[in-house]
Amino acid sequence: MLLISNIVDGLSLGSIYALIALGYTMVYGIAKMLNFAHGDIIMVGGYAAFIAMATSWCPIWLALVITVTICTVLGVVIEKLAYRPLRSSPPLAVLITAIGVSYLLQNIALLTQSATPRMFTSIVDGMPPFLQVFKGRGAVFFSENPYKAEGVKSDLTISMETFLAIIVSVIIMVALTLFINKTKAGKAMLACSEDRGAAQLMGINVNATITLTFAIGSALAAVAAILMCSSYPLLTPYTGSMPGIKAFVAAVFGGIGSIPGAMVGGVLLGVIEILSKAYISTQLSDAIVFLVLIIVLVVRPTGIMGKKINEKV
């Protein structure tokens, strides 16, 4: 029973990583750049949602719309100002710029929102709808549990946040895959990712396509922001940075550029992290996570679901 409960905790953390990793992998797959500011766009989204929800007139759905809009605009603006001028520069220059943008966003947030942490109010409450026959906080499957000390009421709980994070990341994964493979704009993205020069010669507007990629990536960041802050409700100017890095690891783990890979990588990373905390040591959990990553990359350098791309000669 404890194992199932631990796996649920792992899924909860992993689905958040997966959501963020989807944004990372999307931008990497198309624009071939690591947008290290992705985690900080999430932070901005968190503050946008927090401020919108703190006002009395703003219902939750409107707060969501506002957050998605702000993040999308921010992503497009960052791409225009910081990344587009470097389109033909070496990848390292773009990477450093992305790190610069990340620090810029953190410090702007620090200046305008101060370092005081905020408690985010979850957008959802209680338990998933199909489990509502059970009483208590979250969905309780078992009321008695021999492993627990006295005073502990329940064992297995699935909060609405976890449920939502998993469902939303699956929906986004499917929608993104369909969008890229079935629509014209999506196919243009694929073409850009394969050969930018050839795509341009075929009449594809490369700049517009990459802008669209950033718009979608940042909108995903907004969704991730709301779900992450609902599950782990502490909001500071640095909220996005560590989950961002872990999600980047998840994206590499799953095979960067692969959309289902980001999902698989994120969930696996979360589950491994929680299980190593539970059964090995809370002190060593991060070391174990990265050890697994190294082993996977040694065996499969392109990640679990990454495609092997032959270098063009």
User: Which residues are near other proteins by CB under 8 A?
Assistant: 2, 5-6, 9, 12-13, 107, 110, 114-119, 121, 137-138, 147-154, 157, 159, 232-234, 236, 238, 242-243, 273-274, 277-278, 282-283, 285-286
- The DSSP output letter for 159 is -
Residue 23, token pair as written in the block: 């944004």
- The DSSP output letter for 129 is G
Distance CA 147, CA 102 (A): 44
Is 21 or 176 the residue whose CB approaches other proteins more closely? 21
Q: How far is the CB of 129 from other proteins (least distance, A)?
A: 19
Q: What distance lies between CA 266 and its chain's CA centroid?
A: 8
Q: How far is the CB of 264 from other proteins (least distance, A)?
A: 19
Closest CA to 276 of 266, 261, 287, 265: 287
Residue located via tokens 């392109």: 302
Residue located via tokens 């993104």: 176
Is 6 or 302 the residue whose CB approaches other proteins more closely? 6
Distance CA 159, CA 141 (A): 12
Cβ neighbors of 26 (< 8 A, separation 6 or more) are 176, 213, 216, 217, 220, 259, 262
Do residues 267 and 11 touch, judged by C-beta distance below 8 A? yes
Is 64 or 288 the residue whose CB approaches other proteins more closely? 288
Cβ neighbors of 134 (< 8 A, separation 6 or more) are 127, 140, 141
SS3 235: strand
Q: How far is the CB of 211 from other proteins (least distance, A)?
A: 32
Backbone angle region of 55, left / alpha / beta, with phi > 0 → left and psi within -120 to 50 → alpha? beta
Is 12 or 72 the residue whose CB approaches other proteins more closely? 12
Distance CA 189, CA 181 (A): 9
Q: How far is the CB of 61 from other proteins (least distance, A)?
A: 21
Q: How far is the CB of 173 from other proteins (least distance, A)?
A: 22
Q: How far is the CB of 103 from other proteins (least distance, A)?
A: 10
Q: How far is the CB of 305 from other proteins (least distance, A)?
A: 25
Is 45 or 186 the residue whose CB approaches other proteins more closely? 45
Do residues 39 and 99 touch, judged by C-beta distance below 8 A? no
Is 13 or 188 the residue whose CB approaches other proteins more closely? 13
Is 128 or 243 the residue whose CB approaches other proteins more closely? 243
Q: How far is the CB of 67 from other proteins (least distance, A)?
A: 19
Is 95 or 288 the residue whose CB approaches other proteins more closely? 288
Residue located via tokens 């718009």: 215
